[in-house]
Chain A
Amino acid sequence: MSSTSHSKINDFVVRFANVNGTGSASANFLFTKSVFRMGIPVTPKNIFPSNIQGLPTWYEVRISEKGYLGRREGVDLMVAMNPQSMEGDVAIVKTGGYFLYDSTKPLHANYIRDDINYLGIPLMEMCNREYTDPRQRQLFKNIIYVGALSALFEIEFAVLEKLIAEQFPGKEQLIPPNIKALKMGVDYVQANFKFPLDIRVERRDLVKDAIMIDGNSACGLGAVYAGATVAAWYPITPSTSVVEAFSDYAAEYRTDKETGKRNVAIVQAEDELAAIGMVIGANWNGARSFTATSGPGVSLMNEFLGLAYFAEIPAVLIDVQRTGPSTGMPTRTQQSDVLEAAYASHGDTKHVLLFPSTPKECFEMTADAFDLAEELQTPVIVMTDLDLGMNDHVSPPLEWDDKRVYKRGKVLTAEDLDKMQRFGRYLDVDNDGITYRTYPGTHPTKGSFFTRGTSRDEYAAYTEDGGAYHRNMDRLIKKWNTAKNMVHAPQLYQEKSTRSTGVVFFGTSQYAAEEAIELLKAEGIEMDALRIKSFPFNQTVVDFVNDHEHVFVIEQNRDAQMRSLMMIEFSANPAKLVSVLNYDGMPITADNILKQVSQKLLLSQEKTTA
Chain B
Amino acid sequence: MTYIRPKFRHPGLPKNELGYTLAQYEGALSTLCAGCGHDSISAGIIQAAFDLNIQPHKLAKLSGIGCSSKTPTYFLSNSHGFNSVHGRMPSVATGANLANRDLTYFGVSGDGDTASIGMGQFVHVIRRNLNMTYIVMNNGCYGLTKGQDSATADAGSKNKSGHVNLFESIDLASLAIELGASFVAQSFSGDKEQLVPLIREAMKHPGFAFINVISPCVTFNNNVGSTKSYDYVREHIEGTGTKDFVPMMKEITTKYAEGTVQGVKMHDGSDLQLHKLANEWNPEDRISAINAVKTASAKHEILTGLLFIDRNTKDLHHLIQTAETPLNQLGENVLCPGNEVLKDINAGLR
Chain A residues in contact with chain B, CB under 8 A?
36, 209-213, 221, 224-227, 229-230, 232, 249, 253-254, 256, 260-267, 269-271, 273-287, 289, 303-304, 307, 397-402, 404-406, 438-445, 447-454, 462
Interface membership of B21, Cβ < 8 A: no
Please name the residue on chain A nearest to B124 by beta carbon. A270
Cβ-defined contact, B335 with A303, below 8 A? no
Q: Please give the distance in Å from A263's CB to the nearest CB on chain B.
A: 5
Identify which of B73, B77, B99, B332 contacts A285 (C-beta below 8 A): B99
Q: How far is the CA of A401 from the CA of B339 in the complex (A)?
A: 7
In the complex, are the beta carbons of A283 and B95 less than 8 A apart?
A: yes
Q: Does B82 contact A (CB under 8 A)?
A: yes
Q: Complex formed: what's the CA distance from A313 to B57 in Å?
A: 19
Residue B102, interface by CB 8 Å = yes
Task: Report if B345 contacts A (CB, 8 A).
Answer: yes
Given A225-B336, A274-B91, A285-B95: A211 touches B85 (CB 8 Å cut-off): no
Residues of A contacting B88 with CB < 8 Å? Answer: 273-274, 277, 303-304
In the assembled complex, which residues on chain B have CB atoms less than 8 Å from the CB atom of A232? 91, 94-95
Taking a contact as CB atoms under 8 Å apart, the answer to whether A453 and B339 are in contact is no
Q: For A287, list chain B residues within 8 Å (CB).
A: 95, 98-100, 327-328
B102 nearest CB neighbor, chain A only = A441
Give 30 CB contacts A-B under 8 Å. A229-B98, A232-B91, A254-B335, A256-B323, A262-B321, A265-B98, A265-B327, A267-B94, A267-B320, A269-B91, A273-B91, A274-B88, A275-B91, A277-B90, A280-B95, A281-B82, A281-B93, A286-B99, A287-B328, A289-B95, A289-B98, A397-B343, A440-B103, A441-B103, A444-B57, A448-B80, A450-B72, A450-B80, A450-B82, A451-B80
Q: Which residue of A lies closest to B58 (CB)?
A: A441
The 10 closest A-B pairs by CB, nearest first: A281-B95, A277-B91, A287-B99, A278-B95, A440-B80, A282-B95, A286-B328, A281-B92, A285-B99, A211-B349
Q: Does B14 contact A (CB under 8 A)?
A: no
Would B124 and A277 count as touching, CB distance under 8 A?
no
Known: A274-B90, A282-B98. 10 other contacts (CB 8 A): A211-B350, A225-B342, A229-B330, A269-B91, A284-B82, A398-B346, A402-B339, A440-B100, A441-B57, A441-B100
Q: Smallest distance from the beta carbon of B18 to chain A beta carbons, Å?
A: 9
B324 touches A (CB below 8 Å): yes
Residues of A within 8 A of B96 (CB): 281-282, 284-285, 440
Bound form: Cα–Cα A260–B80 in Å: 32
Chain B residue numbers with a CB within 8 Å of A256 are 323
Chain B residues within an 8 Å CB radius of A213 = 349
Q: Are B328 and A439 in contact (CB under 8 A)?
A: yes
Chain A min CB distance to B75 (Å): 12
A interface footprint on B84-119 (CB within 8 Å = 1, 0 otherwise): 110010111111111110110000000000000000
Q: Are B92 and A284 in contact (CB under 8 A)?
A: yes
Closest to A263 in B: B323
Q: A227-B331, A307-B84 are in contact. Are A286 and B100 (CB under 8 A)?
A: yes
Q: How far is the CA of A438 from the CA of B57 in the complex (A)?
A: 11
Q: B313 near A: Cβ within 8 Å? A: no
Partner pick for A253 among B83, B337, B339, CB 8 A cutoff: B337
With A253-B337, A285-B60, A287-B327: A265-B320 Cβ-Cβ less than 8 Å = yes
Query: Given that A227-B336, A453-B83 are contacting pairs, would A277 and B121 also be in contact in the complex, using a CB cutoff of 8 Å?
Result: yes
Give CA–CA (A256, B321) in the complex, Å. 10
- Which chain A residues border B346 with CB–CB below 8 Å? 209, 211, 397-398
Q: In whole angstroms, what is the CA distance A438 to B124 when docked?
A: 29
> How far is A249 from B322 in the complex, measured between Cα atoms in Å?
16
- Chain B contacts of A211 at CB under 8 A? 346, 349-350
Known contacts A266-B320, A444-B56; is A281 also within 8 Å of B94 by CB?
yes
Judging by beta carbons under 8 Å apart, are B57 and A443 in contact? yes
Cβ-defined contact, B121 with A285, below 8 A: no
A255 CB to nearest B CB, Å: 8
User: Is B225 part of the binding interface, using a Cβ–Cβ cutoff of 8 Å?
Assistant: no
- Taking a contact as CB atoms under 8 Å apart, the answer to whether A225 and B82 are in contact is no
Q: Mark B24-67, 1 if CB is under 8 A from A, else 0.
A: 00000000000000000000000000000001111010100000
> Contact check: which of A212, A253, A304, A439 meets B341 at CB < 8 Å?
A253
B95 engages A284 (CB within 8 Å): yes
Q: How far is the CB of A306 from chain B (nearest CB, A)?
A: 9
**Cα distance A257–B151 in the bound complex, in angstroms:** 48
Q: Is B204's beta carbon under 8 Å from chain A?
A: no
Q: Decide: A289 near B345, CB < 8 A? Known: A227-B330, A227-B336, A444-B55.
A: no
User: Do the beta carbons of B99 and A281 come within 8 Å of each other?
Assistant: yes
* Cβ–Cβ contact A229 & B99, under 8 A: yes
B128 beta carbon closer than 8 Å to chain A: yes
Check if B169 is an interface residue, CB within 8 A of chain A: no
Are B82 and A399 in contact (CB-based, < 8 A)?
no
Residue of B nearest to A261 (CB): B323
B95 and A440 contact, CB distance less than 8 A: no
Query: Does B253 sit at the interface, judged by CB under 8 A?
Result: no
Question: Which of chain A's residues has its CB closest to B79's CB?
Answer: A448
Q: A-facing mask of B287-330, CB < 8 A → 1, else 0? A: 00000000000000000000000000000010011111101101
Which of chain A's residues has its CB closest to B81's CB?
A: A450
Q: Inside 8 A of A284's CB, which chain B residues have their CB?
A: 82, 92, 95-96, 99
Once the chains bind, are A278 and B330 in contact (CB under 8 Å)? no
**Are the C-beta atoms of B332 and A277 separated by less than 8 Å?**
no
B338 CB-CB contact with A under 8 Å: yes
With beta carbons under 8 angstroms apart, the residue of A273, A275, A282, A450 that contacts B99 is: A282
In the assembled complex, the CB of A436 is this many whole angstroms from the nearest CB of chain B, namely 14
Q: Would B349 and A212 count as touching, CB distance under 8 A?
A: yes
Say whether A225 contacts B337, CB under 8 Å: yes
Given contacts A225-B342, A277-B92, whether A307 and B85 have CB atoms under 8 Å apart is yes
**A304 in contact with B337 given A398-B345, A448-B78 (CB within 8 Å):** no
CB-CB under 8 A from A265, the residues of chain B are: 98, 317, 320, 322, 327
